[in-house]
Structure 1
């Protein structure tokens, strides 16, 4: 798995507040800029093996809460049940293949935002021997190399060749700020692949903030040239989400909802019968694959962009 060695990652890291270099201490880091609020000793603690590079005054993250390592509930299920609850994401797999083929050079650098674990359908990015993967999250995990808030990515400008941000933008307070940060850290002509929910119920509780249509998602990435975009999953999958949460509400039981999801997993197959325009209007989630650009899509262009069935 081509994760960049932590020692090499640390040499890339900068202060999330002012983007100055960092000074290493035995069990912490601090900003090299004396006039920065994080220029004091111990400003950025080490929690276990993870540097915590968060501007807590501007983040929903709590300094008093130690980021804990742990896997999601679905990952703890038996493999056959897990495939029914969360089947392979073929759309992501296809788009990651496109992204990998478009990456330049012998050792392109891929930044994974929300990379505590490997996302569904993106494993090929971790298997490509020529790709250097850097992964961060707001929690520690098996693949986390540093803890940070995506609103202030602690990396220099133009430092990575591609960014993967899968099922993350619904969990940030200001998605345009995060996308602006992605644009900043990408090299010229760098690539981004994003997946974000459209018609899905709340998940992750208090840390779930937003949803996007295909058009809204495209405008969020308006400073990128589109290579591909559309629905990750259509009305059948969206209906399955709704049935699961209806059963949860009626029974007051998350396990009952998951049981209904397993029993009705065949609803996903209906997605294949729905034309793309209808699928985009009723998608469970949407995706965007694009290349960094200095030209931005205009409001008039996003109106003309719509390609749904209405």
Structure 2
């Protein structure tokens, strides 16, 4: 796994409050700016091997929560413990991610490009190629620890310098942040000029992270979220067949008051996902389970007129 060593990342790290340089001390970091609240030594402690680079006054995260998260390993879900053949019935390979991540990697410039994974505590479905490519230098952060993260941070205040990454992957994250527009603005800031972003975000999915699940996006809404990026490709991650499986799962959960019953039904109805391939792209866009966007950083924003004209669904006037 070609993760950059923490020592190599240090020149790129900045204070999440004022974006000044961070200074390292034994078992902690602090901001170099004398007038910053995070200037005192030990302002950003290390819990285990992970620096905690969070501006807690502007984050929903609390110090005690992060400390607990960093002190424990991520538990394996019941699905992850299943044999691969059965696991695929519940969580099939994300072929959209496989295809688009491969395209992103082939588009990266030069040697040793830097790729940032936002929400990288675990390797995302279909993104394993990011960690297998020996040419790519991967930086990963999340609000919880994992084998593929180098530090803990809040995506609303990414503690990396301007124009420090060649590419960013943000998969199934934006629905879990309070202000997706601010997070995408941070992604834009951290990317180098002409840098690449790959994002996947739900459209028609039930709540799946309790109190930490906030927003959903249509195809047009997702495109407008990334309005300061030129589109390379965009489309459906999973279509109405997958969305139907989600809905039946949660209907059964509600009727039986049992998440286990819902999961069992989802596994038995795996074949409904295959109907996604039979639905034309325009109809899938209007009823997708999730959307993806692959784009390149630019300075110009889409106008309101452009986003109205962008609509590609089946309800276009004829």
With the shorter chain as reference, the TM-score category is: over 0.9
Secondary structure, in 3 states, of the residue corresponding to 2:63? coil
Match of 2:87 among 82, 86, 94: 82
Change (3 A) 1:72 1:292: farther
Deviations 1:109-140 (A, max 9, x none): 00000000100001111111101100000111
Aligned partners of 2:28 and 2:149: how far apart in 1? 17
Aligned partners of 2:239 and 2:303: how far apart in 1? 28
Deviation at 1:11, TM superposition (A): 2.8
**In the alignment, is residue 36 of structure 1 matched against residue 36 of structure 2?**
yes
Match of 1:193 among 185, 198, 201: 198
Aligned partners of 2:73 and 2:59: how far apart in 1? 20
Secondary structure, in 3 states, of the residue corresponding to 2:141? strand
**In the alignment, is residue 217 of structure 1 matched against residue 222 of structure 2?**
yes
Aligned partners of 1:69 and 1:209: how far apart in 2? 25
Secondary structure, in 3 states, of the residue corresponding to 1:75? coil
Aligned partners of 1:300 and 1:222: how far apart in 2? 12
Deviation at 1:157, TM superposition (A): 0.3
Deviation at 1:279, TM superposition (A): 0.3
Provide the residue aligned with 1:4 in structure 2. Answer: 4
Quick check: 215-224 or 66-75, which moved more? 66-75
Provide the residue aligned with 1:267 in structure 2. Answer: 272
Aligned partners of 1:142 and 1:256: how far apart in 2? 32
Indicate the RMSD between aligned Cα atoms, in angstroms: 0.9
Deviation at 1:251, TM superposition (A): 1.1
Aligned partners of 2:91 and 2:301: how far apart in 1? 35
8 Å CA contact retained: 1:71, 1:141: no
**In the alignment, is residue 95 of structure 1 matched against residue 100 of structure 2?**
yes
Secondary structure, in 3 states, of the residue corresponding to 1:40? coil
**In the alignment, is residue 182 of structure 1 matched against residue 192 of structure 2?**
no
8 Å CA contact retained: 1:71, 1:117: no
Provide the residue aligned with 1:236 in structure 2. Answer: 241
Secondary structure, in 3 states, of the residue corresponding to 2:46? strand
Quick check: 235-244 or 19-28, which moved more? 19-28
Secondary structure, in 3 states, of the residue corresponding to 1:126? helix
Change (3 A) 1:72 1:202: farther
Aligned partners of 2:76 and 2:53: how far apart in 1? 23
Secondary structure, in 3 states, of the residue corresponding to 1:278? helix
Aligned partners of 1:163 and 1:100: how far apart in 2? 11
Provide the residue aligned with 2:73 in structure 1. Answer: 69
Aligned partners of 2:154 and 2:233: how far apart in 1? 27
Quick check: 35-44 or 282-291, which moved more? 35-44
Within 5 A, what are the aligned runs for 1:273-292? 273-292=278-297
Secondary structure, in 3 states, of the residue corresponding to 2:282? helix
Secondary structure, in 3 states, of the residue corresponding to 2:80? helix
Provide the residue aligned with 1:52 in structure 2. Answer: 52
Provide the residue aligned with 2:15 in structure 1. Answer: 15
Structure 2: gaps (5+ residues)? none
8 Å CA contact retained: 1:228, 1:288: yes
8 Å CA contact retained: 1:196, 1:211: yes
Runs of at least 4 residues off by over 4 Å: none
Change (3 A) 1:71 1:23: same
Deviation at 1:71, TM superposition (A): 4.0
Structure 1: gaps (5+ residues)? none
